[in-house]
Amino acid sequence: MMRAFLVYLGIEAVAANRPSNQVEITIGRLLAVCAHPLLAWRRLSPSARLVVWSGYAAAAYAVVLTLLLLRHPSLF
pLDDT for res 5: 67
For residues 4 and 14, is the Cβ–Cβ distance under 8 A?
no
Tell me the chain's radius of gyration from C-alpha atoms. Answer: 20
pLDDT for res 60: 95
Task: Quote the pTM value.
Answer: 0.54
pLDDT for res 28: 85
Cα-based angle 12, 17, 19 (whole degrees, multiple of 5): 110
pLDDT tens by residue, 11-68: 655 555 667 788 888 888 888 888 887 888 888 888 888 988 898 899 999 999 999 9
pLDDT for res 19: 74
pLDDT for res 34: 80
d(CA 58, CA 62): 6
